[in-house]
Amino acid sequence: MILEPPSPAGMRRDYAERGAFLETDLAADWTGQFTDWFAEAADFGLPEPNAMIVATAGRSGRPSARTVLLKDYDVRGFVFFTNYASRKGAELAENPYASLVFPWFSMHRQVIVTGAVERVSRAETEAYFGSRPRGSQLGAWASPQSRVLPDRAAVEAGLAAAIDRFGDGPVPAPPHWGGLRVLPETVEFWQGRSNRLHDRLRYRRTDDGVWVVERLAP
C-alpha cells in the first residue's frame, strides 16, 4: 500500500505556548543567552541539542548545508571538527564565512549565527581528537569525506586499512582533520509566536567591535 503524502502547505502549527520573548529577557551578551537556551534545550530532552546546520559557499557562491555537531563554544565562537578536505572544509578554505542554525523545533526556537571561520589551534584539535572513541578516531583516517566512492565496500576497506595501520597503538589526529571556529558577527535568537508574528532578537557586532541588540521583523 502506497500512502498518500500530506500537503506541506496544509501543515500548520501555532506557536503561542511559550509566550513573549522580549528584550528584557535577554542575557547581557550572546554567550550568556546561548548558554541559557542550550541548557533549557538539554533539559527539555531534545535529542542532540548540539546538532546544528552548517551552511557554506565556495568561490562559485553556490551554497551547501549539512548537519554537524557543536563540540565547544565560548566568547570566541562555536567549534566543530571535520575533514579539511571535505566539501565544507574546501568551501571554507575558499570563502571563510559560514552560517549556523540550531533548529530546536519542539521548543519553537532556533538560534542563527553568521560569521567568519578560522581553524582552531593544532593543540585544540589533538586534545579533542584524543577524547573521541577509538572507532571515531579510526573513521577519521578511513574516510575521504565527501569524495565519490564506488560502493560501501570502499568504506569498509578504508576502515580495515586504518585498523591495520595503527594496530593496538594510539591513533593520532590526521593532518587533514581538525577544528573550525565560527567567529560570530550576528547571533539571532528566534522564538515562535502566534500568527507567525515571531520574536527575533539579534546580537550584532558593529565594525568597531561593540555588540548591539536589535529586534528583527518576523
Q: How confident is the model at residue 65 (pLDDT cuts 50, 70, 90)?
A: very high
Strand pairing report for 109-119 and 72-74: unpaired
Helix, strand, coil abundance in the chain, percent, nearest 5:
30, 30, 35
CA 200 – CA 188 distance, rounded (Å)? 7
Catalytic residue among 119, 196, 202, 215: 196
Three-state DSSP at 147 gives coil
Q: Are 97 and 116 in contact (CB under 8 A)?
A: yes
| Residue found by looking up cell 542550550 in the block | 38
Three-state DSSP at 30 gives helix
Which of 34, 29, 36 lies closest to 213, judged by CA? Answer: 29
What per-residue confidence (pLDDT) applies to 49?
A: 98
Measured between alpha carbons, how far is residue 202 from residues 28, 49, 182 in Å? 12, 20, 17
Query: Which long-range contacts (C-beta less than 8 Å, at least 24 apart) are formed by 41-48?
Result: 41/102, 41/104, 41/107, 41/109, 44/104, 44/106, 44/107, 46/104, 46/106, 46/107
Query: Does residue 215 carry a catalytic annotation?
Result: no
Which of 94, 95, 89 lies closest to 175, judged by CA? Answer: 89
Q: Which domains does the chain have, with CATH numbers?
A: 14-132+175-215 (2.30.110.10)
pTM of the complete model: 0.93
Q: How confident is the model at residue 207 (pLDDT cuts 50, 70, 90)?
A: very high
pLDDT at 179 over 80: yes
Crossing angle of helices 134-142/152-166, nearest 10°? 120
Per-residue model confidence as pLDDT tens digits over 102-156: 999 999 999 999 999 999 999 999 999 999 999 999 999 999 999 999 999 999 9
Q: Are 195 and 15 in contact (CB under 8 A)?
A: no
DSSP string, 83-129: ETTSHHHHHHHHS-EEEEEEEEGGGTEEEEEEEEEEEPPHHHHHHHH
Q: How confident is the model at residue 11 (pLDDT cuts 50, 70, 90)?
A: confident
Which of 212, 195, 197 lies closest to 21, judged by CA? Answer: 197
Q: How confident is the model at residue 187 (pLDDT cuts 50, 70, 90)?
A: very high
150 is written with which cell numbers? Answer: 564506488
CA 78 – CA 67 distance, rounded (Å)? 14
